[in-house]
Amino acid sequence: MSNGIPDAPDTGATALQPGTFDGQTVLVTGGGTGLGKAIASEFARLGAKIAISSRKEEHLEAGRAAMTELGAAVCVTPCDIRDPESISNAFDTIEKEVGRPSVLVNNAAANFPVPAEDMSPNAWRTVVDITLNGTFFCAREFGRRHLDAATPASIINVGASYAWTGGPGFAHSAAAKAGVKNMVETLAVEWGPYGIQVNGLVPGLMPHEDMTADIRGNLDRTNDKDPCQPALRVGRPRELGWAATFLASPYGRFISGHTLVVDGANWQRRSLTNPNVVSVRDQMGKGPFSAQ
């Protein structure tokens, strides 16, 4: 009988020593929801002061409440990562309130399922602008501040496995995430001499309560059931958080330019024979394409 990969330890467990991030500030973009909140929570449990930036007040307040409940000092700042000036202002506020972040988790991203032939130019631009350009703008602001101060630091870019495989129904996001993965490799080499470690971190399917209606609907139409994963289970958001804290910890220092996939081997699932092909239009219940 196969039981799959055993479940994760309970929420609150940790492999790192308590206080690993005492005195440090960790900035998680989009840290008020979903996986970003899970990542921020693990840093908070290990003593970090947390900064959270995103656009929506309700997300920022949800992040603040979660960090406060964990006993962490927290600063939330509105920021649209498409706008470099908004990023710079957010960094100024964070530095004033909780100190310069030594860790940046570029977690914020945008995504919705849409067949490529239906995707408007603005839909493509919006996802690429947030996911790829926004990630670079945040890394740039963070890197410049650390180069100027000659301080070591760590960047973690959250990616997706369709950066390697392509993502039918997600042409914009898959292309943007491929860029994000490539950026990790470039920045790690450029900024290594200045003590800045740069890595990617890729979650597998990790359902959570904040998933947008579009993404949730897509999963409901396809399959997020445990038996469809090689691990015979989906991932837990805290498993991504543990990986992030390890990468940014003293024990992960020599890991740089790497993208770590936390998905129970789902992205490696390949076979010469596969289930019948179903077009993205059919998967999404869309009728035949019409240019009108």
- Interface residues with ligand HXC (CB under 6 A)? 109-112, 114, 120, 122-123, 126-127, 160, 173, 212, 214-215
* Residues contacting 254, CB < 8 A, separation 6+: none
Q: What token pair was written down for 266?
A: 């789902």
Q: Write the DSSP string, 54-96.
A: ES-HHHHHHHHHHHHHTT--EEEEE--TT-HHHHHHHHHHHHH
For residue 73, the minimal CB distance to ligand HXC (Å) is 26
Residue 79 binds which one of ligand NAP, ligand HXC, none, with CB within 5 to 8 A depending on kind?
A: ligand NAP
Clarify whether 162 is annotated catalytic.
Answer: yes
Residue 241 one-letter amino acid: G
**Nearest residue (CB) to ligand NAP, 47 versus 202:** 202
Nearest to 236 by CA among 17, 14, 4, 34: 34
**Nearest residue (CB) to ligand HXC, 25 versus 135:** 135
Element (H, E) at 219: helix 213-221
For residue 58, the minimal CB distance to ligand HXC (Å) is 13
For residue 69, the minimal CB distance to ligand HXC (Å) is 23
- Which of 112, 162, 170, 242 is an active site residue? 162
Query: Which residues lie near ligand NAP (CB under 6 A)?
Result: 29-30, 32-36, 54-56, 59, 79-82, 107-111, 130, 134, 158, 160, 203, 205-206, 210-212
Report d(CA 7, CA 4) in Å as an integer.
9
Known catalytic residues are: 162
